[in-house]
Chain A
Amino acid sequence: MKNKIILMLTLVLAIGAVATGCGGNESTLNVYNWGDYIDPEVLNLFEEEYGVRVVYDTYATNEDLYVKMKQGGSSYDVVIPSDYMIERMIREDLLMEINMDNITMLDKVDDRFLNLDYDPDNSYSVPYMWGTVGIIYNKTMVDRPLTSWADLWDEEFEGEIIMLNSQRDTLAVALKKLGYSLNTRDIGELEEARDALIEQKPIVYAYLGDEVKDVIVGEEAAIAVVWSGDAVAMMDENPNLEYVIPSEGTNLWFDAMVIPSNAQNAEAAQQFINFMTRPEIAAMNADYIGYSSPIPEAVEMLDEEIQNSSVAYPSDDMLVNTEVFKDPQDIISEYDRIWTEITSAQ
């Protein structure tokens, strides 16, 4: 009996050594990213080139990431939050300044993605991807072209609408529909948005995250609120789909790579950030995940079709009506309260 247990333990440890790549002295890099937001091959290339083992994990929303970082107990070397969350993390001293001398590829990034409001001196972040939020719908299942957020309240589409299971994005939809700024600091407006979302609940099919892609591509529902990059990936799989930026305006967002202040391996983190900014790598990554790269040279390497796609790379006049999220600062708890009330309503 004892021998068997020892045998089993040895076996497990042996498998472990093989599965985890023989461990040894090589340094590790802890990357924490959105689900489905990187080409796994890129990670392999990085590991080969730098001899660093990448431990990769994913989260579902900015808030999820924030809580994980804030409560400690885990240390990450590179994370990829969005604009407003970066602003908040800088404010709360959760990020480390990046030595931009090590990011030799920074000049490859289009100037319009640098020195943005969330990181005015561009000392904490390097852009990763950008995009919009809009409506994707199936032309064969919906009898008219959709143009506005208000369409999502149309009872005709009962049971066909999928909303995002994400606090800021979903509140933004309702705020825009009501004609307010998606950065409103007026509690009354936020509560109006809450009531609108609660009123909408009966006709919503589900509140989903990344799994929305399966449902829309498989034609199980006709309409969904999605990020533009996911829209590109879905339209690639199913030609009946159409993406639209609603007339009321929408959210323009930027995701950027940052290094948490408690990172264990800041050196490898900077190597990684630089590596990801290399045009050929950025192109490979953008091609795989469907999102829009902020690096012009990378964009030029993509298929003509994507380059000219107004979904992935909208022209400036399509973006006039957009807003970038800002950190709500002192009223964050109000956002949390209102979101909890929405998800708790029947």
Chain B
Amino acid sequence: MVNKNLKRLYTFLIFAFLYAPIIILIIYSFNDSKFRGDWNGFTLRWYIELFQDREVLRVLYYTFAIAITSSIISTVIGTMAAIGIHGIRGFTKKTILNLNYLPVLNPDIVTAVALMALFRMARLQFGFLTLLLAHITFSVPYVVLSILPKLKQMNDNLAEAAMDLGATPFYALRKVIIPEIMPGIITGGLLAFTLSIDDFVISFFTTGHGISNLSIYIYSMARKGINPTINALSTLMFFSLVALLLVINNRSEKSEKIIQERR
């Protein structure tokens, strides 16, 4: 069928477009030349240099330290916030929801300069702390937004019933509400982690001397010619993420099967 082939071609082209630069990056991570553009043969030296480059390792450390800490903190704050928001009504709820929406709708650069102004006025030393606060600030709204729908689906009477039967609010929270909204919490946490790893604009404006995440480091390098070790690093990160996704995918498929069999 012509129609079907056309579809296939189109799908292929779109994916080619998406993956072309990535393939280029991977290929150049094996190129035995510092300059992009000329191919001088296969080498693994950028991978070796990568693990000897103190700067790159430091950048990597900060990237993950910020991403892990900020995603854990924002997941906790976001979960609490979502439950709190779910419990209130009326004008207050609307105001809070709209405020929560602001960082999502606002362009990154506006959020970035606003936070920069705040930190400046509070006379904070720009560095790890300001970066962390900024990352939490732009992550929490996404966590809240991924948990709220789950709360809506939950039967409110469950928690009430638990409390009527003598459970403390905290116990009800832990044993009834949290398990019900777990999928939302996990989605929110992963989203926060991804946003943090990939953020450039807000980090760029809120970080200080000597504290760079991967994006900032790449940006400053792009101004003097990117070192191929960065290509090597990205290739490694890319493949470990793909591997991780495949494992998760496999697992969830297996568990789906088990659930289906039980039924």
The answer on direct contact between A and B (beta carbons under 8 Å) is yes
Binding site for B on A (CB under 8 A): 5, 8-9, 12-13, 15-16, 18-21, 30, 32, 35-36, 55-58, 60, 71-76, 209-211, 213-214, 217-218, 220, 237
* Residue picked from B69, B123, B223, most chain A C-beta under 10 Å: B223
State A36–B127 Cα separation when bound (angstroms). Answer: 23
Binding site for A on B (CB under 8 A): 35-38, 54, 57-58, 60-61, 64-65, 68-69, 72, 119-120, 123-127, 130, 208-210, 212, 220, 222-225
Q: A19-B54, A213-B225 are in contact. Are A73 and B65 (CB under 8 A)?
A: no
State A12–B127 Cα separation when bound (angstroms). Answer: 18
- Asked if B120 and A32 make an inter-chain contact with CB atoms under 8 angstroms apart, the answer reads no
Q: A9-B68, A19-B58, A218-B37 are in contact. Are A74 and B223 (CB under 8 A)?
A: no
Q: What residues of chain B lie closer than 8 Å to A56, measured between beta carbons?
A: 210
Q: What residues of chain A lie closer than 8 Å to B68, measured between beta carbons?
A: 8-9, 12
- Asked if A16 and B65 make an inter-chain contact with CB atoms under 8 angstroms apart, the answer reads yes
* Residue picked from B54, B208, B209, B222, most chain A C-beta under 10 Å: B209
Q: What is the minimal beta-carbon distance from A170 to any residue of chain B, in angstroms? A: 16
Closest A residue to B72 by beta carbon equals: A5
Q: What residues of chain B lie closer than 8 Å to A36, measured between beta carbons?
A: 224
Q: A35-B220, A71-B120, A73-B120 are in contact. List 16 more A-B contacts (CB 8 A).
A: A5-B72, A12-B64, A15-B61, A19-B54, A19-B57, A19-B60, A20-B58, A30-B210, A35-B224, A73-B126, A74-B209, A75-B125, A209-B224, A214-B225, A217-B35, A218-B35
- Asked if A74 and B61 make an inter-chain contact with CB atoms under 8 angstroms apart, the answer reads no
- Asked if B61 and A211 make an inter-chain contact with CB atoms under 8 angstroms apart, the answer reads no
Q: What residues of chain B lie closer than 8 Å to A74, measured between beta carbons?
A: 125-127, 208-209
State A55–B224 Cα separation when bound (angstroms). Answer: 19
Candidates A20, A57, A213; contact of B61 at CB < 8 Å: A20
Complex A-B: 26 CB contacts under 8 Å: A8-B68, A12-B61, A12-B64, A12-B65, A12-B68, A15-B57, A16-B65, A18-B57, A19-B54, A20-B58, A21-B54, A55-B209, A57-B209, A57-B210, A72-B123, A73-B208, A74-B208, A75-B209, A210-B224, A210-B225, A211-B224, A213-B225, A217-B35, A218-B35, A218-B38, A237-B35
Across the A-B interface, the 6 shortest Cβ-Cβ residue pairs: A210-B224, A55-B210, A73-B126, A214-B225, A19-B57, A19-B61
- Asked if A211 and B222 make an inter-chain contact with CB atoms under 8 angstroms apart, the answer reads yes
Q: What residues of chain A lie closer than 8 Å to B222, measured between beta carbons?
A: 211
State A75–B36 Cα separation when bound (angstroms). Answer: 36
Closest B residue to A56 by beta carbon equals: B210
State A214–B64 Cα separation when bound (angstroms). Answer: 30
Closest B residue to A219 by beta carbon equals: B37
